[in-house]
A and B are shown apart, each in its own frame.
Chain A
Amino acid sequence: MIISLLVFLPLLGFSLTAFYHFSCSSRKKEPTVAVGGFLATGAMVASFCVSIVAWFKLRSAGFGDASIEESLFSWMKVGGLQVDFGFRFDRLSAVFTLVITGVGSLIHLYSIGYMENDGSARYFAYLNLFCFMMLNLVLGSSLPQVFLGWEGVGLASYLLIGFWSQEMGNVAAAQKAFIMNRIGDLGLLFAMFLGFKFAGTLDLAQLSAFAFRPDVATIFGLLIFLACTGKSAQIPLFTWLPDAMAGPTPVSALIHAATMVTSGIYLLGRLNPVIAQSPVVMSVIGAIGAATALMAAITACFQTDIKKVLAYSTISQLGFMFVACGVGAAETGVFHVMTHAFFKALLFLGAGSVIHALSGTQDIFKMGGLRRVLPWTFWTFTVGWAAILGLPPFSGFFSKDGILHETLVASHGNPVLFGILAFSAFLTAFYMTRLYVLVFTGDSRVSEEAKKHIHESPLVMVIPLVVLSIASLVGGWFGAPVRFEETHAAPAHGVSEAVIMVVSVGLALAGAYIAYRKYSSNVRMELSKDPFRIDEFYLSFFGNGVKKASSMVGRFLEDGLFQKMLQASGVAVDLGGNLFKTVQTGSAQGYLLMMVLALIGLVCGLIFGVPGYGNF
């Protein structure tokens, strides 16, 4: 029952925290962050410990295809459909579980410091709910259970983005995230129907072992991928993620960088055998991933909000992971999920620390010179920066370099994808260095107002930063041996791994150098802009288009056709009403008698027969 334990611990934490919140508010007492945070964090840390035990248990079973299965109860049994509520803990789930519980615990801890002023137990309850749902998503043994988690994390994300619901903008961002995710969820739902119709089962293991007809496999894969584009913010459903930064920063770190947005990769990894049956789906995934990586990286170069830069960077990195899945190297993609979870959570928490220190300022052009006042944040952020750039020996180097390599050697790889990703990596180095230089070096451009309150973050916030920076440094080493010992059959295109390494590090350094030259001195204010204007496009195309179409329909149908029909029907109703008014006595039993007489007529017709129709 070890897996169930680790899944249900956050639920326990959620219940306790929620109970605490309600018991406080019923006694007209302000719930304190300390108690709520302690309960929630305790549950997560316990869950993390249990998942480590589970990891060792899995290791002693020998990795490979070994898995720990637990079936709790039969969830649905309708006709031929049998769905068990249970958990399956294998290598893929294990990586995700450790990231969720590990990074989750750290972010819970960090939140105690970050939310000290305006947090409440409600916030921690939501965080715990999120972790529970996320664990359901990655450990569920069947597709409906994954769907449960999928919707559950969407709910938690909605609640947390709109946590500061006093401001309309936050509420709008929460709704946007929720609605855009629904579009993707439709894909998952239809994929489930399709899976059940053709494979007759929704168990993930059986489903991924099933050999679909080629056309069905293509449609199934595309539907699954649609779901993934929603949750993992890929083209065309990515615009919710930058807006989701309206939520508290630890939430952005946990949900919108480290865990929830990578659930698309999980799903593709889990159903990889089915996806791989269709070359069309593979190339679509690769193309969309590469396009997203490039587009988001370009957009990130023009953003001025520290969290938005990181948000676009997340979208771009997710694009990298999708390319890895698309070329047939899902393992490498998952490896990048892990390292990315470490360094992106670190970067977000660092950003949070900066925002916290500057009393809420998020514009990077109003920062600068923070190296001296925020030493802990500075050094840990440096580690995150080096990791996302992919400098050896930081973790990002191993995974990003792995993906670049796979685009050339994997079964569905091609040099175009490599080119796009390499350029995106170059841009990544550019915008991250721009951010880094503007925030931490140079002269201070902090407003006088904010300068008064500037302070290094408390210990509860620094500890997670330090732990995550260690993880960002060493996180890649676990995967590295696997990668280097693999003997690839003679590298295709005649490019060896070493060359790619040199190219990727060179590109990163070049990007960093250009950004450093541009922004280290004579900083001029820039305004945030979105070079692609996808949001406005959606608004004008879907929003105004629908408006125009409906006004046209309104003019022709409403005024011309319906109005006349309505008038005619009005006259008819008036006549009929006068006729039937006599029957309406208002006595309920009078109506009842009419009903009964009609019923008697029907029954007698059935029993004695109607002339010309016979009886039963």
Chain B
Amino acid sequence: MMTLEPWMMLVVSMVIFGIGLFGLLIRKNLLVMLMCVELMLNGVNLSFVAFSKIHHSLDGHLAVLFVMTVAAAESAVGLGLVIALFRTLRTVDSDQIQILRD
């Protein structure tokens, strides 16, 4: 009989992290790219909690709290940047935003 064990959670967390990373690499829409970053952060959070469970400690939960704060700040600033970019360049396509290259 199989029971629920923390390492399964770890597997899920890593798969989600990978999917998020993949999306970040291939999608061109800045908004979707930001969503993929959130996915990656969530994957890491899940692994924190799972390791916390494995190690009988609560420090992982604290790390999750801090990651959540950072994620909130990151998405606020990131979306602000998207709005500002959209306003000046009229696009959210990451391939068309290449002003640093020249």
Contact = CB atoms under 8 A, between A and B. Distances in A.
11 contacts: A584-B101, A586-B100, A586-B101, A587-B95, A587-B98, A588-B97, A589-B26, A589-B28, A589-B95, A592-B25, A596-B21
Contacts of B46: none
B25 A589 contact: yes
A592 B27 CA distance: 12
Interface in B87-102: 94-95, 97-98, 100-101
Interface in B46-85: none
Interface in A554-612: 584-589, 592-593, 596
B28 to A, nearest CB: 8
Interface of A: 584-589, 592-593, 596
Contacts of A587: 94-95, 98
Contact of B94 (A584, A589, A596): A589
Given A586-B101, A589-B24, 19 more contacts: A584-B101, A585-B101, A586-B98, A586-B100, A587-B94, A587-B95, A587-B98, A588-B94, A588-B97, A589-B25, A589-B26, A589-B28, A589-B94, A589-B95, A592-B24, A592-B25, A593-B25, A596-B21, A596-B25
A464 B101 CA distance: 70
Contacts of A592: 24-25
The 5 A-B residue pairs with the shortest CB-CB distance in the complex, in nearest-first order: A586-B101, A586-B98, A588-B94, A587-B95, A593-B25
Contacts of B26: 589
Nearest to B95: A587
Interface residues of B, dominant DSSP: loop
Nearest to B99: A586
Nearest to A600: B21
A596 B26 CA distance: 12
Contacts, number: 21
Nearest to B21: A596
Interface of B: 21, 24-26, 28, 94-95, 97-98, 100-101
Contacts of A596: 21, 25
Nearest to B30: A588
Contacts of A588: 94, 97
Nearest to B94: A588
A41 B28 CA distance: 65
A586 B26 CA distance: 15
A22 B72 CA distance: 34
A587 B33 CA distance: 14
A354 B94 CA distance: 73
A587 B93 CA distance: 10
B96 to A, nearest CB: 10
Contacts of B100: 586
Nearest to A588: B94
A285 B33 CA distance: 67
Contacts of A586: 98, 100-101
Contacts of A589: 24-26, 28, 94-95
A588 B98 CA distance: 8
Contacts of B97: 588
A596 B40 CA distance: 13
Contacts of B94: 587-589
A587 B28 CA distance: 10
A586 B98 CA distance: 5
A593 B25 CA distance: 6
A54 to B, nearest CB: 44
A50 to B, nearest CB: 43
A592 B98 CA distance: 14
B100 to A, nearest CB: 7
Nearest to A584: B101
A352 to B, nearest CB: 53
A514 to B, nearest CB: 74
A584 B100 CA distance: 10
A585 B96 CA distance: 11
A587 B101 CA distance: 9
Contacts of B25: 589, 592-593, 596
Nearest to B24: A592
A588 B101 CA distance: 10
A554 B100 CA distance: 35
A594 to B, nearest CB: 11
A616 B24 CA distance: 29
A256 to B, nearest CB: 46
Contacts of B98: 586-587
A589 B100 CA distance: 14
Contacts of B21: 596
A585 B21 CA distance: 20
B91 to A, nearest CB: 13
Contacts of B24: 589, 592
Contacts of B101: 584-586
B94 to A, nearest CB: 5
Contacts of A584: 101
Contacts of B95: 587, 589
Contacts of B28: 589
